[in-house]
């Protein structure tokens, strides 16, 4: 039995191959995150670079870490951030969507803003950096 290609089927296949590269990231990098929320005034930062350690942050306080990201591709890539975990809603990346040019290095500031009513304790999460075709 031979397959007959109808015009709607051909359009669907064409649309899939045109849109497919933009449906999924080219690649992703996932960083672990760690924070200890404390009561009262306290500031602390762990300087290891394998995980985003925000250290000890007071309720109502803020912490910041920096990520240096380089585009090793020969094409521009759109960079996006997403976070998971119990303190994911406290995270803020001002340049949430950024177009990284070929061979460009850029420093992204990752902030954590702890609300006054946040529970005390140590928490872990993940920050995923996704790279998309432009």
Domain 25-133, CATH number (from 2.60.40, 2.20.28, 2.60.120, 3.30.70): 2.60.40
Query: What is the C-alpha separation between 126 and 31, in angstroms, rounded?
Result: 6
From the list 89, 102, 126, the residue with the least C-alpha distance to 26 is 102
pLDDT in tens, 103-131: 999 999 999 999 999 999 999 999 999 99
Locate 36 and state its tokens: 């200890």
Instruction: Find the length of the chain.
Output: 134
Please identify which residue in the block is written with the tokens 């912490």. Answer: 63
* pTM for the predicted model, two decimal places: 0.76
Higher-scoring residue by pLDDT: 12, 35: 35
Residue 43 pLDDT > 70:
no
In a 3-state reduction of DSSP, which class is residue 16?
Answer: helix
pLDDT (tens digit per residue) in 4-29: 777 777 777 666 666 665 677 888 98
pLDDT at 9: 76
């Amino acid at each position: 039995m031979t397959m007959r290609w109808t015009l709607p089927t051909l359009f669907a296949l064409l649309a899939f191959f045109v849109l497919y590269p933009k449906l999924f990231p080219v690649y992703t990098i996932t960083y672990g995150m760690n924070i200890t929320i404390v009561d009262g005034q306290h500031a602390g930062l762990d300087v290891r670079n394998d995980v985003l350690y925000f250290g000890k942050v007071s309720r109502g306080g803020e912490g910041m870490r920096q990520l240096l990201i380089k585009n090793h591709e020969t094409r521009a890539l759109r960079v996006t951030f997403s976070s998971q975990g119990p303190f994911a809603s406290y995270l803020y990346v001002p340049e949430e969507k950024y177009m990284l040019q070929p061979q460009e290095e850029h420093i992204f500031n990752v902030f954590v803003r702890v609300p006054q009513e946040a529970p005390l304790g140590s928490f872990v999460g993940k920050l995923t950096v996704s790279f998309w075709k432009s």
